[in-house]
Structure 1
Amino acid sequence: MADSTQVFAILAVTLAAFVWGRFRYDLVALAALLASVLLGLVPADAAFLGFGHPAVITVVAVLVLSRGFERSGLVDLIAEQALRVGDRLILQTLVLSGTVLVLSGVMNNVGALALMLPVAIRLAREHDSPPSLLLMPLAFGSLLGGLTTLIGTPPNIIISAYRQDLVGEGFGMFAFFPVGACVALAGLLLIVLAGRYLVPQRAGQASLDAMFDTAHYLVELRVPEGARAVGWSLRDLHQAIEEPVPVLAVVRGEARHPGHTFHGHLRVDDILLVEAGPEEMALLEDKAGLEVGPEPPAEDGDGGGDEAGTVDTEGLQLVEAVVRNDSMMLHRTVGQLRLHNQFGLHLVAVARDGGRLNQRLRDIRFRPGDVLLLQGGEGEIGESLATLGCLPLASRNLSLGQPRMLLVSVAIFAVAVIAMVLDWLPAAVALTGAALASLLAGVLTLREAYQAIDGPVIVLLGAMIPVGQALETSGGAALIADALLALGRDWPVVATLAGLFAIGMLLSNVVNNAAAALLMAPIAASLAEGFGVSPDPFLMAVAVSASSAFLTPIGHQSNTLVMGPGGYRFGDYWKLGLPLSLAVMAVAIPLILIVWPL
């Protein structure tokens, strides 16, 4: 079997696994790399050279610098101003999407979205509007902003590194700006003017307050005299009923102990504040002998409505969080994760696709975009969420940080940009130096820097770079290019360029954008060689198209992150995404040919 045929077979299985989503994309990429090595398509001694590739190093440095911007208070300062925008939807969309667009040009676009997402949700709550009207435009704005600079998105870094290998010089820091900025502005204009008509309103379902109105799910259960639960620990209680029902607090006399810190034994007349449905309440009554507590005074509740009444939730340390694409929680249950024992967290409720899941908590296998209601210690809950790979959604207190650190962070980044623009240092070296300077200056700690590095993306890049090179060295890229050349023989070069752009855009909607860029770059170079023209317009077409995943929630992490909080369904994205994709293509191709002529 020819080498090119073997490469095609590996890539076909890899792409199918990416689309299926059963296994994380970093594991799929590693499997593809090892298969290429075993088949002799990638030399064994070069199998892991991709992890030292300048593109990988640059992505790592950008992630660390992004966290530095967050810790210095720069983004909080911007977010605080965004909250003053008022109640006009068109102005809210413009400010939020425009802000995340600008931020995404100088930091990781998922990081920029993660910082502005709580601001958008808080704004929607304060003005009693559906968050769905703001979150999809916010996600798309983060993708558009990445088009403007070298460090805005991994595909730009990958394409620049590929050009370096191809012609001996990569794209500069602002080489993407003339095309990217015009495309981003056109996209932002479409989002602001047409977004409210094309984005679905999920008022009843998407409201996190409605999904997680804990007063309607929390009940007080008393430990009566003679109950089997007398003398039990909370762990004994969970083992007896074989269900991790969250005990949010134990009230003993005048003292109230959070459930995650209560390690004593239950006594008669203890009150347990429990999040439980009818089935769980029956289990607690049958197997532990607990009884529904007395009706609370009217002034402590919200008016009631349940059989068990409502309870005062004040003081509960609850947080809403969304499961990221790279979370360690994916496809695992509460028991497998040992949420309480390992992370000190209680799972209170889960929402998916805008609606609260009613199945038993222990049976839920988490998916990307799930919105969780968790309880934990105020000091540790942030670190636990970061370790698990969850993004907190609850309104956060905006802290402006230390002004000195803000200025230091911006100054360090500015020096790195100047070094790149003046060709004093390659991008990987300049940005790595800036990341190191941020650590030495105390902008962020070493631990925070390591937490900022997106491991799955780094593994994906390091593994897929040699596979992409195998596509080129095996002749596979030339075969695809020859087929496209044959189809476009009677058409102008611009038609083939548009076809390449459309293929890249469609591919980016079903696989990671970095993987799309890695696979499309050698095909673009082969096409340019076949036409006898400059490779630059073809590489630029790949860079823009690979970052234009507007049609599905799985094409980019930004789209997935807003799916749960916005209450979106899979088919909602193309309604705004298709017009936006066509607009991006219509603006980008003429501009690419003007700025980067054939």
Structure 2
Amino acid sequence: MIEAPSFHAIAAMALTVVVFYMFVRGRISVEIISLLAIAIIAVGLYFFPMPHTQPTDGLQLAFSGFGHYALITICALMVMGRGLVVTGALEPAARLLERVFKVNLQLGLLLSLVLAFVLSMGVNNTPVLVLLIPIFVTLAVRGAMPASRTLMPLNASSLLGGMATTIGTSTNILVVSIAVDLGMREMGVFEFTPIVLAASVIALPYIWLVMPRMLRDNSPEKGQGQRWFSTHLRVPQTSMLIDKHFDEVVGMLPEEFRFDERPSGPFEAGQRFRVSGTHDALEEAVRLLKGQIAPGWVVNDVQRSATANSEDINVVEMVVTGDSRLVGRTLSTSGIANRYGVAVLGIHRPARLLGSEPDDIHGEIRISEGDVMLVMGLTPALAEFAQNDALLQLEGGREVPRRSKAVLAAAIMGVAVALASVGIPFYGSQGFYMLNVPIAIASLAGAIVMFLTGCVKFDRVGRALSGQVIVLVAASITIGRLILDSGAAGWLGEALSLGLQHLEPAGVIAAIMLFVTLLTNFASNATAATVGTPIAFAIANQLDLPPEPLVLAVLFGCNLCYATPIAYQTNMLIMAEGNYTFGDYVKTGVPLVLIMVTALSFLLARSYGM
């Protein structure tokens, strides 16, 4: 018989269950629940400190999550991801994957899952996800599968790949190291890869075909038709349209873009045609055709001003009110570009009542009350334009990518990933070797360089970070420490060992794996590895079983962190981008955990002849 858990252990387990229930129920925001959990721990440990501690030690434990290296790492990774997005560094990769998704959405997703799996076998899965997240967010904007239906499967696939080798995650290295210290032989890098590959083949159909259908389309534009803007496409001397016929280029145009006028012969420099499309489609068409949808001199002036003032170029939508001086004018007679230094890229015309005034004069669009203009410029110029000409600026503006820094941002990210995955060459007494660089150091250094080089600006950093994720990470770290320090994790391990002696070997493996999975999803994988590995080794000795399969059950359980967002840092990274709720992780993660536990337990027992 084991002793009853201490008061603090009971309180830690009860608090964990209550917090989990509140997260899943979703009646109260994640931020409020997280802050309440931290407050309860702080107040409780101050008035009822744990043995051999002072009241102030409890305060330090409660708020330790906000200064934890894991939180700093996640924030730094978010900043670097933001740098890749605002510079457009990942657009070539996004366009390549977009072609695959256009052929077949399911084929594109499958190839992406396999790519994430393979990369994560040799590279830490955190930088792999950091690279893939912005690409798939961009793909969602371009009309591929919604980010909320791709990021969760991608994360699951990368976690499976990270499970397949001893170097796939830092937790794998920790488990193997603890086992070696306890007397077990050291495992090779690919020693258990066949087992994981076989289990992954079983799990992949669920991740590929079922998981996306269990997730909602959380895109902000869901249920809202995108506005179509009318404008003129100009053919400059550098355009690829010159000397080509319409039929030669129509097949390469975006679906949400059309020519309202078409030439009778080949395109010539200096021509201008009425076109229309969504904002994204207009941008894509201009890039493909190397054309212009605003006078070149205006765009050049805006770009020169942005460079001179070190400011970002924004594209916003503005509604024309009845008091605007623009009503009844055309763009050429309005003098907008000369007055304010902004470029009108297009005009969206809402449906008009019968008998309204004509839409255009001599091919020029006449501006009317209620029209929505797509305007590009610097923030001060846009504000002046809206104020002086009685316009209402709508929400949802976007920054024009700073493509001049795209290569630099990609290089910074590449170096950070290389440092975290491979290390840095170092010469010592034993000659040249690779010095391991923790992901926290590599990501923090990368974020700092992003700031110093202007890839991400200090006044824009708030857009890269998610307050919900920050508070949730801090709370999860605090709860994990409480479970470990209060003795709750140790008591659960002892209770587990008492009930395993009558089980079959496969059942022993499954029970250990489920126990470690429980710790991983509610505390942390480091806690699970630290507590679970010695327990597994002791159970193997008590039941006269080989230690390798039981230690591998711990290693696999540490990686089955799909069921909560607090289980692993990549779960946190996708939470904001996919607009996921706590319940989304539970709904999709629990079935995957059960599939993997069943498959891995059977395969381990068979592989080791148990």
1:472-511 aligned within 5 A: 472-492=484-504, 494-502=506-514
Q: How many angstroms apart in 2 are the aligned matches of 1:274 and 1:36?
A: 61
- Displacement after TM superposition at 1:40 (Å): 0.9
Are 1:4 and 1:474, in contact at CA under 8 Å, matched by a contact in 2?
Answer: yes
* Counterpart position of 1:94: 110
Q: How many angstroms apart in 2 are the aligned matches of 1:573 and 1:7?
A: 21
1:515-594 aligned within 5 A: 515=523, 517=525, 520-521=528-529, 524-525=532-533, 527-528=535-536, 530-531=538-539, 532=541, 533=547, 536-547=551-562, 558=574, 580-586=592-598, 588-589=600-601
* Counterpart position of 1:358: none
Are 1:464 and 1:518, in contact at CA under 8 Å, matched by a contact in 2?
Answer: no
Q: How many angstroms apart in 2 are the aligned matches of 1:492 and 1:455?
A: 47
* Counterpart position of 1:265: none
1:107-256 aligned within 5 A: 107=127, 109=129, 112-113=132-133, 115-120=135-140, 122-124=142-144, 131=145, 136-149=149-162, 178=193, 182=197, 186=201, 189-190=204-205, 194-195=209-210, 199=213, 211-213=223-225, 248-252=319-323, 255=326
Are 1:113 and 1:138, in contact at CA under 8 Å, matched by a contact in 2?
Answer: yes
Compared CA separation, residues 193 and 111, structure 1 to 2 (3 A)? closer
* Counterpart position of 1:14: 19
Are 2:160 and 2:200, in contact at CA under 8 Å, matched by a contact in 1?
Answer: no
- Displacement after TM superposition at 1:81 (Å): 0.9
Residue by residue over 1:304-336, the C-alpha shift from the partner in whole angstroms, topping out at 9 and shown as x without a partner, is xxxxxx997653689xxxxxxxxxxxxxxxxxx
Q: How many angstroms apart in 2 are the aligned matches of 1:167 and 1:454?
A: 39
* Counterpart position of 2:280: none
Residue by residue over 1:446-489, the C-alpha shift from the partner in whole angstroms, topping out at 9 and shown as x without a partner, is 45556534454444444444543332343322221222222222
Determine whether 1:444 maps to 2:456.
Answer: yes
Compared CA separation, residues 51 and 156, structure 1 to 2 (3 A)? farther
* Counterpart position of 1:305: none
Compared CA separation, residues 160 and 66, structure 1 to 2 (3 A)? farther
Q: How many angstroms apart in 1 are the aligned matches of 2:446 and 2:609?
A: 34
Determine whether 1:376 maps to 2:376.
Answer: no
* Counterpart position of 1:40: 49
Q: How many angstroms apart in 2 are the aligned matches of 1:596 and 1:437?
A: 49
1:50-69 aligned within 5 A: 50-69=65-84
- Displacement after TM superposition at 1:176 (Å): 12
* Counterpart position of 1:238: none
Residue by residue over 1:278-303, the C-alpha shift from the partner in whole angstroms, topping out at 9 and shown as x without a partner, is xxxxxxxxxxxxxx9854659969xx
Residue by residue over 1:347-400, the C-alpha shift from the partner in whole angstroms, topping out at 9 and shown as x without a partner, is xxxxxxxxxxxxxxxxxxxxxxxxxxx93373xx56xxxxxxxxxxxxx98968
Q: How many angstroms apart in 2 are the aligned matches of 1:524 and 1:148?
A: 21
- Displacement after TM superposition at 1:84 (Å): 1.5
Structure of greater Rg? 2
* Counterpart position of 2:303: none
Q: How many angstroms apart in 2 are the aligned matches of 1:64 and 1:15?
A: 29
- Give 3-state SS (helix, strand or coil) of 1:199's partner: helix
Larger deviation, residues 18-27 vs 178-187 = 178-187
* Counterpart position of 2:9: 4
Q: How many angstroms apart in 2 are the aligned matches of 1:528 and 1:252?
A: 76
Are 2:513 and 2:556, in contact at CA under 8 Å, matched by a contact in 1?
Answer: yes
Aligned-partner residue type, residue 157 of structure 2: L
Compared CA separation, residues 94 and 56, structure 1 to 2 (3 A)? same
Q: How many angstroms apart in 2 are the aligned matches of 1:439 and 1:596?
A: 52
Larger deviation, residues 457-466 vs 183-192 = 183-192
Q: How many angstroms apart in 2 are the aligned matches of 1:177 and 1:70?
A: 37
Q: How many angstroms apart in 2 are the aligned matches of 1:496 and 1:462?
A: 34
Aligned-partner residue type, residue 39 of structure 2: A
Compared CA separation, residues 210 and 462, structure 1 to 2 (3 A)? closer
Aligned-partner residue type, residue 30 of structure 1: I
Aligned-partner residue type, residue 556 of structure 2: A
Are 1:180 and 1:544, in contact at CA under 8 Å, matched by a contact in 2?
Answer: no
Compared CA separation, residues 189 and 469, structure 1 to 2 (3 A)? closer
Are 2:483 and 2:489, in contact at CA under 8 Å, matched by a contact in 1?
Answer: yes
Residue by residue over 1:16-45, the C-alpha shift from the partner in whole angstroms, topping out at 9 and shown as x without a partner, is 333333142531442343145222137523
Q: How many angstroms apart in 1 are the aligned matches of 2:320 and 2:179?
A: 62
Compared CA separation, residues 487 and 27, structure 1 to 2 (3 A)? same
1:385-400 aligned within 5 A: none
Are 2:349 and 2:371, in contact at CA under 8 Å, matched by a contact in 1?
Answer: no
Aligned-partner residue type, residue 136 of structure 2: M
Compared CA separation, residues 149 and 399, structure 1 to 2 (3 A)? farther
Residue by residue over 1:488-517, the C-alpha shift from the partner in whole angstroms, topping out at 9 and shown as x without a partner, is 221255523423444666788xxxx57464
- Displacement after TM superposition at 1:410 (Å): 1.5
Residue by residue over 1:214-246, the C-alpha shift from the partner in whole angstroms, topping out at 9 and shown as x without a partner, is 789xxxxxxxxxxxxxxxxxxxxxxxxxxxxx9
Report the number of matched residues: 435
Q: How many angstroms apart in 2 are the aligned matches of 1:398 and 1:139?
A: 29
* Counterpart position of 2:414: 410
Q: How many angstroms apart in 2 are the aligned matches of 1:300 and 1:520?
A: 67
- Displacement after TM superposition at 1:79 (Å): 0.6
Q: How many angstroms apart in 2 are the aligned matches of 1:142 and 1:82?
A: 17
1:283-432 aligned within 5 A: 294-295=353-354, 314-315=372-373, 375-376=394-395, 378=397, 401-419=405-423, 422-432=434-444
Instruction: Report percent identity of matched pairs.
Output: 18
TM-score (norm 2): 0.53
TM-score (norm 1): 0.54
Residue by residue over 1:117-155, the C-alpha shift from the partner in whole angstroms, topping out at 9 and shown as x without a partner, is 34135334xxxxxx57x85344312332245459xxxx9
* Counterpart position of 1:27: 35
* Counterpart position of 1:362: none
Segments of 5+ residues of structure 1 without an aligned counterpart are: 125-130, 217-245, 258-272, 276-291, 302-309, 319-340, 345-373, 383-395
Compared CA separation, residues 596 and 208, structure 1 to 2 (3 A)? farther
Aligned-partner residue type, residue 74 of structure 2: V
